[in-house]
């Protein structure tokens, strides 16, 4: 077993054109029952972020029970703080625990290096699950970004970008970005992604970060490095976790319900770029399907991440 511890996004004066649905993200729903199983979790190498609580913990336990060749799990805690979980996972499969703080993008870049070292044969499935609720008041990280946007969007972009060459290299691979149905209520406001103006609220910041993630997923699906890797996003359900209750007075299904939905998407065949509402393909917020918006968001993202992804602006 191995353990590792360890600018603001600017606006744009360009205005997106009228929405076009020519993005790669499929917009037609289909019957889940007709999809054929494609990816076998057993024997695969899987990297799961945000694995120490809530949906991530339940998903880690479900994956471990399926017998992957190696399960690499990430969390913000020192390994000693999650020894019980790591021990439980280790009883079922080969587990590597990696620590990284998503409030520090340099730490996320180090996580990518550590994950690459832990998976010398490549990664079959990357599940970007780590997330946070919007804080009560607008908060900036040490990197200068609004905290919700950094943890829920910018950090997964850093990790995914740095691992793109090792996911699905020479064999079928998956990148699964855990989104939220709250993205339907959001606007991107490309001129103020970090809420420097008025209007901040925890729920709105969370929804915007998830809309950014869904939009970026659609663009990445169009520009995927090879046709052996599929990139999708999923709303795993309204789940009773600390994250949900930090923003909403709502009930919800169990984390195990979300884990089952995630594993279904990992295992099943689907169209590259699909957005899932639990287990069913669905049409995302139209903003995510607009190619002009996708490119403007990508430009702003590259500017924001230049300190940790210099090649992105080359």
97 is catalytic: no
Give me the residues paired with residue 281 across strands.
276
Greater confidence (128 vs 225) lies with 128
HSE value, Cβ hemisphere, 13 Å, CA-based, for 6: 23
Question: Is the pLDDT assigned to residue 26 strictly greater than 80?
Answer: no
The rounded radius of gyration (Å) of the Cα atoms in the chain is 18
Looking at the DSSP bridge assignments, the partners of residue 232 are: 176
CB contact burial 8-47 (16+ within 10 A = b; e otherwise): bbebeeeebeeeeeebbbbeeeeeeeebeeebebeebbbb
Q: What angle do CA 189, 192, 196 make, to 5 degrees?
A: 140
Mean pLDDT of all residues in the chain? 85
**Per-residue pLDDT tens digits for 181-200:** 899 999 999 999 999 988 99
Catalytic residue among 184, 200, 206, 276: 206
Predicted local confidence at residue 6, as pLDDT: 33
Q: In the chain, how long is the greatest CA-to-CA distance?
A: 54
- Nearest CA among 51, 77, 75 for reference residue 63: 51
pLDDT in tens, 229-255: 999 999 987 765 656 555 665 666 788
> How far is Cα 21 from Cα 29, in angstroms, rounded to an integer?
15
Domains of the chain and any CATH numbers: 3-313 (3.40.50.720)
Instruction: For residue 142, count CB atoms less than 10 angstroms from its CB and return exposed for 0-12, middle for 13-18, buried for 19 or more.
Output: exposed
Q: Are 35 and 60 in contact (CB under 8 A)?
A: no
Nearest partner of 250 among 182, 179, 152, judged by Cα: 182
* 10 band by pLDDT with thresholds 50, 70 and 90: very low
Q: How confident is the model at residue 30 (pLDDT cuts 50, 70, 90)?
A: very low
How many H helices and E strands in the chain?
A: 9, 9
Q: Closest Cα to residue 252, out of 163, 169, 180, 302?
A: 180
pLDDT of residue 170: 75
Q: For residue range 76-106, what is the model confidence (pLDDT) as tens digits? A: 999 999 999 999 999 999 999 999 999 999 9
Pairing of strands 280-282, 275-277: antiparallel
């Amino acid at each position: 077993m191995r353990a590792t511890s360890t600018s603001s996004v600017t606006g744009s004066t360009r205005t997106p054109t009228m929405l076009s649905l020519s993005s790669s993200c499929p917009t037609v729903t289909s019957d889940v029952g007709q999809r054929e199983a494609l990816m076998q979790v057993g024997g695969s190498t899987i990297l799961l972020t945000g694995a120490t609580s809530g949906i991530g913990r339940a998903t880690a336990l479900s994956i471990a029970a399926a017998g992957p060749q190696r399960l690499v799990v990430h969390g913000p805690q020192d390994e000693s703080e999650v020894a019980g979980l790591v021990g439980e996972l280790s009883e079922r499969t080969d587990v590597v625990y990696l620590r990284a703080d998503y409030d520090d993008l340099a730490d996320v870049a180090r996580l990518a290096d550590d994950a690459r070292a832990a998976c010398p044969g490549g990664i079959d499935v990357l599940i970007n699950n780590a997330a946070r609720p919007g804080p009560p008041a607008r908060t900036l990280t040490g990197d200068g970004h609004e905290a919700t946007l950094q943890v829920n969007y910018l950090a997964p972009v850093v990790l995914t970008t740095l691992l793109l060459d090792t996911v699905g290299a020479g064999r079928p691979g998956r990148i699964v970005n855990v989104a939220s149905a709250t993205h339907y209520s959001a606007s991107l406001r490309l001129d103020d992604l970090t809420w420097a103006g008025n209007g901040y609220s925890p729920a709105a910041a969370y929804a915007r970060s998830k809309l950014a993630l869904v939009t970026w997923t659609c663009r990445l699906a169009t520009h995927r490095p090879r046709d052996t890797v599929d990139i999708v996003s999923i709303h795993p359900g309204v789940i009773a976790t600390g994250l949900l209750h930090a923003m909403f007075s709502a009930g919800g299904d169990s984390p195990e319900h979300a884990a089952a939905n995630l594993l279904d998407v990992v295992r099943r065949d689907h169209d590259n770029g699909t957005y899932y509402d639990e287990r069913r393909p669905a049409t995302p917020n139209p903003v995510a399907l607009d190619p002009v918006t996708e490119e403007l968001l990508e430009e702003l993202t590259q500017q924001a991440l230049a300190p940790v992804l210099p090649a992105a602006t080359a």
